[in-house]
């Protein structure tokens, strides 16, 4: 592909993406905006955490800590679990446990609902 062809293709892709955003149905736009907001919030939380590492509040070597997950018997590489609002470090979890907490809404209501479900009480 020549540089001219590449530029022509990029221009078309930009125009196509802009047209798709303009012509997006309202219900799809609502989903898109929620997803975008969630993504931006995660980026801000990650940025707060990195800033805490830079300022020495959190040890940078802790970022790729190896040990035992605070929730399950897993031993290996852990991720830093932090409060998304305050950026405070809560502990060290394996990726599946950290992901599970996030999927449950990262709040007491989500955990309580999961516990009730696990005990067979459903909603």
**Contacting residues toward Zn ion, per CB under 5 A:** 69, 71-72, 74, 94, 97
Going by C-alpha positions, the residue among 45, 46, 17 that lies closest to residue 32 is 17
Q: How far is the CB of 59 from Zn ion (least distance, A)?
A: 21
Q: How far is the CB of 86 from Zn ion (least distance, A)?
A: 22
Q: How far is the CB of 70 from Zn ion (least distance, A)?
A: 7
Q: How far is the CB of 78 from Zn ion (least distance, A)?
A: 8
Place of tokens 């932090």: 82
Our CB check for Zn ion shows the closer of 71 and 89 to be 71
Our CB check for Zn ion shows the closer of 76 and 105 to be 76
| Residue 69 to residue 67: CA distance in whole angstroms | 7
Residue 120 backbone zone (phi > 0: left; psi -120 to 50: alpha; other: beta): left
| Residue 48 to residue 32: CA distance in whole angstroms | 24
Our CB check for Zn ion shows the closer of 24 and 74 to be 74
Our CB check for Zn ion shows the closer of 58 and 97 to be 97
Sign of CA dihedral 118, 119, 122, 123: negative
């Amino acid at each position: 592909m020549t540089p001219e062809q590449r530029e022509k293709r990029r221009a078309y892709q930009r125009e196509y993406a802009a047209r798709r955003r303009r012509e997006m149905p309202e219900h799809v736009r609502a989903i898109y905006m929620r997803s975008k907001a969630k993504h931006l919030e995660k980026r801000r939380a990650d940025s707060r955490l990195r800033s805490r590492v830079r300022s020495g509040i959190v040890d940078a070597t802790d970022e790729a800590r190896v040990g035992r997950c605070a929730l399950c018997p897993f031993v290996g590489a852990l991720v830093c679990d932090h409060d998304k609002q305050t950026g405070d470090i809560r502990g060290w979890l394996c990726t599946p446990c950290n992901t599970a907490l996030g999927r449950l809404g990262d709040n007491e209501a989500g955990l309580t609902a999961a516990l009730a479900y696990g005990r067979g009480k459903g909603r």
